[in-house]
Structure 1
Amino acid sequence: MPGTVLLIAASPAGRGCLVDAASVLPVLAAVAPSVLSGTDTANVVELADPLQPQAVLTRLRAAATAPGPLTVFLTGQLQLDRRQRLPHLALARTTPATVRYTGFPWHWIREELRLRAPGGTTLLVDLHADAEAWQQLATRPLTVGPGVALYGRVAPAPPRRAVAVPTYMKSLATILRSGHRPPLAHLHQQALTRSYGEDPDSAHRDLVLLVEPRHRAGVPAPTPVPAAAHGYAAPAHAYAPPAAVPVPPPPYLAAVPMPATPPEAAPVAAPAGPPSGSPSGPPSDPHAEITAAVQGGRHAEAAVLAERWERTALRTHGPGADEVVHWMEVRADLAMFAGDAELSCRIWLAVADARLTAGQPPDATGVEAAVDRAHHQWGRIGDSARARELGLALAGLRGRVPGRRQGALDDIQRHLSRLRTQTQV
């Protein structure tokens, strides 16, 4: 059965433009339709800088009702309407004052796709959000419905008078131009690695979207994620880590220096390699193995792999090295995936301490992100005594690393006060 591909690149004309969305279309158009869709044949529909929301709705509705798999490549920018504060895809005529009438409401996407068969719809996005939309994403994430796969990233607005480049979508299209379409999770990972390799700073600020349909085998059980005041609350079935502020993808998806040899072949007293029974042949990417283990619900296996690589990095490079800190961050995210908020918090606190000890300033992105993530995980610890213990450590660290959102230390003090009251009762 043929597939359907919808290419949408939208951004306002003039000074309100945050991203050169249309620049991705020539690269995507150079990809064979069958590769874009992952089917033997496919129909491709392209929308470049559309003017009217109804025109986008018509195209989306037609694509949603077509038989066969549907893949939507969406590049553009998000803005909120001033009345209902709902996210909209800004179109060519959109201005901050006219978003409600000239933008394309994000919830229309969800509504048009909600009746499609689970597993047959994929949405790949590269979005930039203006300041108001970016702030709202901290507590109200984008959703697409339980049967739709969502991959991509949301980036904050570029500096004033600058126009951003949709590096994630361009990287994705470049990979597909080879004629090979890897599994979507791998394609997403490769696109992130390539785009963050070109722009490392963006890896410390973007929100990564990775949501799989709930029906798929191997998807971790839903974990409720509170809408924390400082947090990106990902959908319950998302893999991307919620955190205290908009943060990068899990570190094992980012472009980082990796040893040239696997742990078992490193020229030091290395720990054992991957679990016995792994297929022989060239060394596999440990990040991919860890990702597969998490997606398969094998959290203990993923943690063991990360611990082994951390020990190897420690013996090879010494305490505080970037490679060591990287694997600490991986372990912190893995603890979060496994639902162990206490362990995740402890590791993020250790990451922040390691970065500060290594001489990084308190306002360094990596330091702030570690403390913000520790703060978010701390708020999810159920044991009052342990929460109080870690809260005191977090409060001390917040005194040195206040972060970029006001009231973080006050939030800790209020929560500690509530914990003391619970203990007394």
Structure 2
Amino acid sequence: MTVIGGPSLPQERRLITSIPGPVSQAIQARKVAAVAQGVGTMLPVYVVAAGGGVLVDADGNSLIDFGSGIAVSTVGNSATGVVSAVTDQVQAFTHTCFMITPYDGYVAVAETLNRITPGDHDKRSVLFNSGAEAVENAVKIARAFTRKQAVVTFDHAYHGRTNLTMAMTAKNMPYKSGFGPLAPEVYRAPLSYPFRDGGLDGVTAARRAIDVIETQVGAANLAALVIEPIQGEGGFIVPADGFLPTLVEWCRANNVVFVADEVQTGFARTGAMFACEHEGVVPDLIVTAKGIAGGLPLSAVTGRAEIMDAPHVGGLGGTYGGNPIACAAALAVVETIEREGLVDRARAIEETMLKRLTALQAEDNRIGDIRGRGAMMAVELVVPGTTDPDADLTKRIAAAAHAQGLVVLTCGTHGNVLRFLPPLSIPDNLLHEGLDVLSQTFRETR
């Protein structure tokens, strides 16, 4: 595959020093002295250039990127169309605040989101800065529309770090511990988790969740059901077929707004433009961020016009929401996805990764499960012969991969999932080499 635009960085893994090298270590020492310790760093290599499928650090090492900045650099870190659009916009103006003196870019992004998100109904969009901010505003919109208060999320969910989205997030450490009290009227239902559900089908799992909702919350009190179609931080959990459609049907019958949090799954990442499309689900509201703007801060809520228009004028907004530079980037990202056929590219990456990971599982019984869609794949690591999570092994595998110049991420409620999010711009040779490094790492880590 041809690298999608950007600087002509050699698309190769190149290790000049140990990882991290001396220059990165020196900068890391400055970071420790200058940056609040609450901001963690998984792999302290300090990047000076990136593009295609590589990250180049301050020591000259070139690492294979299986992280995409947590699913942000979907079209690559320096796609030509995005760089050009951002440059043009910076030269024109950087900010006016859309709520004061608006500009066309915001409107064009809203029109684009209304066009590409699932469903052909009349839609409206509103733009924000981060995924958490957009999730929080989706709840505000749902509450305004239904005039109800309660919100349901799911086991293993991750929705953000603001006060409300911390409450919506399942995992305590590091996201919630010590930061309470948390926002009220947030409840949790059981997710469909095929690897740990004992064969429970999706429809039955949905009915189990609905029973919890009806008995512990009550449909009459419930404004919104918020769910990631494929969970991100929770472990790349793909619900069993039928789970999402059954929940949607129940929401429609009970005046509950169905909110799809596609912050990590959106914009071609899963082999569809949005993960909801794999089961034909049309959400009432869809939340997007991460891959939306090629690395610039932007997020959105898009949904049915009658729901989106429920808040009063002035009830939605923010100083930087829909910044013109981020809007220019977003339009270029969507154009790149459509022009380069990146939905199909994600499916091709899935085919390659699934084949290689399945072969690796056949020789290593510590891999309990392989799951995901498109360029959003994961392996769950367990104690052999059991389903007991092995978080220590996961950390050691990740660290060994990092040392060999492969950037991989961990996730999961128990910290025992390796997740792979290569940019869709990664060339085939790097994808295969990254998988070679991963395989060798498993063989050498005991």
Structure with more relative contact order (C-alpha pairs < 8 Å, separation 6 or more): 2
TM-score (norm 2): 0.26
Structure number with the higher helix fraction is 1
